[in-house]
């Protein structure tokens, strides 16, 4: 059962918000029995929705034999406890639902650490208030019973675990930075897929790279980032990274926890912004993703708007320019826009050409390199990423004349 409480000035249409909440609940494995909407001037401190509405909700829960109520807005610890007492069923909010989905989907060690950190940060303030109930186990008025002691012990244990996870994640971030530096040592541009959850990013990723990443219609099916090579029509090789999908009102704890993953987007040379063009709220999704990209410092990175799922459009789809103008509105710009169907493969060739055009070409320079005769790695790199014209050995050194990309020459000059 879902419950949405909205004020008079909702920024998001309530029907769309409830539809998204229903999809989230289904992704978590719940069966939606009913959905209820309440409009009121402001939240009620004790229960959010007021005593009368709580009784109405309790009756609906009993009649439907529901065992879970999901609210489409965050609940305070006090509101959550009060609602559960009166309703007689477990009550969670949107944040808790998203955390549960993420916990069930994370596969890598980094992903599991990120989720556990977000869950602990969410639960820590919700320990408060249980001490009074626990203290009934012993102690009197004005004394500190064993329940309160247990509460403090739980707090310390959770705080210690949070510190440990943060230290572990710092290690993961350091390792990710090392891998990124190693990638940067090779003249390969990095592209990042970004978009609203369930936009079809993983399907597109598989179509472009034949990676075999899990594809699922459920929201947040892919959490752990994957990087694969991609060959462009110009024969240039790039690296493509698939990332977690964005969603409106993504819990702050998750934004912080997934900082290391989102760094893959912020470090990219080009962002492929994937949007489900068949979704009624596609323009709103584009605006939200643009906002998140700005939040993580990726707003200035060139973007290609990839309008996916054109196979779902009825009739002949409009041209890419008209669709992109409708989705972007005023004030937002992208390098280019292209319409594709990751499922059928339609438009993929055009997308690859657009990537080739959007990536700044690395001019080829003719240069002479003087290397140690034992520096086989640099010599192999010149052969792999450039065109060796002549090689002359002089004692313990070798002189190589080659045509190489400017980026490779710059890196080799800085390393010498």
- CA dist., res. 276 & res. 296, Å (int): 22
Range of lowest pLDDT (17-21, 81-85, 384-388): 384-388
Q: Would you list the domain boundaries of the chain?
A: 2-101, 106-170, 187-358, 364-415
- CA dist., res. 279 & res. 275, Å (int): 9
Task: With residue 369 as reference, give the H or E element that holds it.
Answer: strand 364-372
pLDDT for residue 36 = 86
Residues 295-300, mean pLDDT to the nearest whole number? 83
pLDDT tens profile 334-391: 889 999 999 999 999 999 999 988 887 566 678 999 999 888 888 888 887 778 899 9
Q: Does the pLDDT value for residue 303 go beyond 90?
A: yes
Q: Does the pLDDT value for residue 218 go beyond 60?
A: no
Q: Does the pLDDT value for residue 128 go beyond 60?
A: no
pLDDT tens profile 25-69: 888 888 899 888 888 888 899 999 998 999 999 999 999 889 999
Q: What's the distance, CA 382 to chain centroid? A: 37
Q: Does domain 187-358 have CATH number 3.40.50.10490?
A: no
pLDDT > 70: what percent of the chain?
A: 77
Structure tokens at 414: 């800085």
Three-state SS at 149: helix
pLDDT for residue 212 = 61
- CA dist., res. 220 & res. 217, Å (int): 9
- In terms of CATH architecture, what is 2-101? 3-Layer(aba) Sandwich (3.40)
Q: What's the distance, CA 27 to chain centroid? A: 16
């Amino acid at each position: 059962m879902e419950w949405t409480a909205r004020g008079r000035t909702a920024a998001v249409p309530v029907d769309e918000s409830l539809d998204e909440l229903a999809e989230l609940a289904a992704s978590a494995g719940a069966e939606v029995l009913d959905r209820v909407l309440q409009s009121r001037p402001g939240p009620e401190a004790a229960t959010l929705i007021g005593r009368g509405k709580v009784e109405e909700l309790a009756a609906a829960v009993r009649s439907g034999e529901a065992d879970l109520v999901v609210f489409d807005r965050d609940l305070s610890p006090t509101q959550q406890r009060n609602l559960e007492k009166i309703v007689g069923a477990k009550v969670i909010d949107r944040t808790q639902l998203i955390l549960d989905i993420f916990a069930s989907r994370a596969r890598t060690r980094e992903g599991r650490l990120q989720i556990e950190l977000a869950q602990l940060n969410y639960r820590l303030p919700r320990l408060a208030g249980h001490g009074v109930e626990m203290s009934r186990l012993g102690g009197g008025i004005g004394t500190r019973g064993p329940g309160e002691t247990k509460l403090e012990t739980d707090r310390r244990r959770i705080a210690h675990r949070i510190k440990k996870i943060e230290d572990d994640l710092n290690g993961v971030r350091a390792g990710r930075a090392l891998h990124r530096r190693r990638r940067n040592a090779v003249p390969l541009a990095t592209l990042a897929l970004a978009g609203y959850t369930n936009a079809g990013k993983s399907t597109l990723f598989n179509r472009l790279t034949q990676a075999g990443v899990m594809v699922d219609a459920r929201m947040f099916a892919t959490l752990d980032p994957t990087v694969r090579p991609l060959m462009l029509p110009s024969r240039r090789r790039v690296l493509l990274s698939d990332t977690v999908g964005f969603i409106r009102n993504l819990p702050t704890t998750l934004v912080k926890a997934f900082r290391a993953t989102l760094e893959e987007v912020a470090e990219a040379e080009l962002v492929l912004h994937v949007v489900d063009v068949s979704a009624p709220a596609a323009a709103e999704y584009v605006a939200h993703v643009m906002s998140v990209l700005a939040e993580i410092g990726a707003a200035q990175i060139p973007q290609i708007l990839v309008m996916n799922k054109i196979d779902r459009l009825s009739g002949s789809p409009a041209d890419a320019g008209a669709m992109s103008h409708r989705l972007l509105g005023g004030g937002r710009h992208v390098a280019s826009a292209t319409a594709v169907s990751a499922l059928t493969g339609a438009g993929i060739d055009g997308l690859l050409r657009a990537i080739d055009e959007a990536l700044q070409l690395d001019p080829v320079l003719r240069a002479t390199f003087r290397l140690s005769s034992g520096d086989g790695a640099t010599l192999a790199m010149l052969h792999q990423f450039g065109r060796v014209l002549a090689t002359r050995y002089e004692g313990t050194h070798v002189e190589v004349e080659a045509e190489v990309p400017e980026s490779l020459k710059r890196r080799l000059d800085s390393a010498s």
